[in-house]
Amino acid sequence: MKRGGALAFAAILLLAIALRAQSASAAILEARITGASVSASLAISAYQNFTAFPEVPHRISDEDAAKVEAIVNAALAERSPGLSAELRGIEVASDANWMNLTLRLEIRGAISRRGSIAEVDCSWRSLSIRGPVIISGFDFNGIGRSFLRPALEAYEGHLGFYENGTILVTKERGLNTIGNLTPFDLSPFRGPLDSWRIRYGLRDGSTAIELHPRDFIMRVDRIGNATRSHIIRFRYYARIVAEGVADPRGDKVSLAAGDRSSEAAMALSIASLAALCLYLRGGGAKARLRAHPKRGRRARS
Where exactly are the structural domains of the chain?
26-258
26 — pLDDT class (breaks 50, 70, 90): low
**Average pLDDT of the residues of the chain:** 76
pLDDT at site 53: 80
Nearest residue to 129 via CA among 113, 140, 137, 118: 140
In the Cβ-directed half-sphere of 67, how many Cα atoms lie within 13 Å?
A: 13
Between 66 and 227, name the one with better pLDDT: 66
Distance, CA of 210 to CA of 207 (rounded, Å): 10
Please say if the pLDDT value at position 71 is more than 60. Answer: yes
pTM, full prediction: 0.70
Chain-centre distance for alpha carbon 29:
1
pLDDT at site 77: 95
Cα-only R_g, the chain: 25
pLDDT at site 281: 56
Task: Kindly give, in sequence order, each residue whose CB lies less than 8 Å from that of residue 212, ignoring residues fewer than 6 positions away.
Answer: 196, 197, 237
User: Torsion over CA of 74, 77, 83 and 89, rounded to 10 degrees?
Assistant: -10
What average pLDDT does the segment 279-292 reach? 48
Predicted confidence (pLDDT) per residue in 214-237, tens digit: 677 788 887 767 677 777 766 677
pLDDT at site 275: 52
Chain-centre distance for alpha carbon 53:
25
Q: What 3-state class would DSSP assign to 217?
A: strand
286 — pLDDT class (breaks 50, 70, 90): very low
By the 8 A CB rule, do 184 and 129 touch? yes
- List, in sequence order, every beta strand (DSSP E) within 37-157: 39-47, 84-94, 98-108, 111-114, 117-121, 134-135, 138-139
Task: Kindly give, in sequence order, each residue whose CB lies less than 8 Å from that of residue 39, ignoring residues fewer than 6 positions away.
Answer: 5, 6, 7, 8, 9, 10, 88, 104, 105, 106, 107
Q: Are strands 117-121 and 246-249 parallel, antiparallel or unpaired?
A: unpaired
pLDDT at site 258: 57
101 — pLDDT class (breaks 50, 70, 90): confident
Tell me how far CA of residue 140 lies from CA of 3, 68, 72, 224, 274, in angstroms. Answer: 22, 11, 13, 33, 47
Q: What b/e sequence results for 180-202 when a residue is b if at least 16 CB atoms lie within 10 Å of its CB, and e otherwise?
A: ebbbbbbebbeeebeebeeeeee
Length of the chain: 301
Nearest residue to 148 via CA among 189, 121, 181: 181
Count H helices and E strands in the chain, helices first.
6, 15
70-74, 208-212, 232-236, 259-263 — most confident range:
70-74
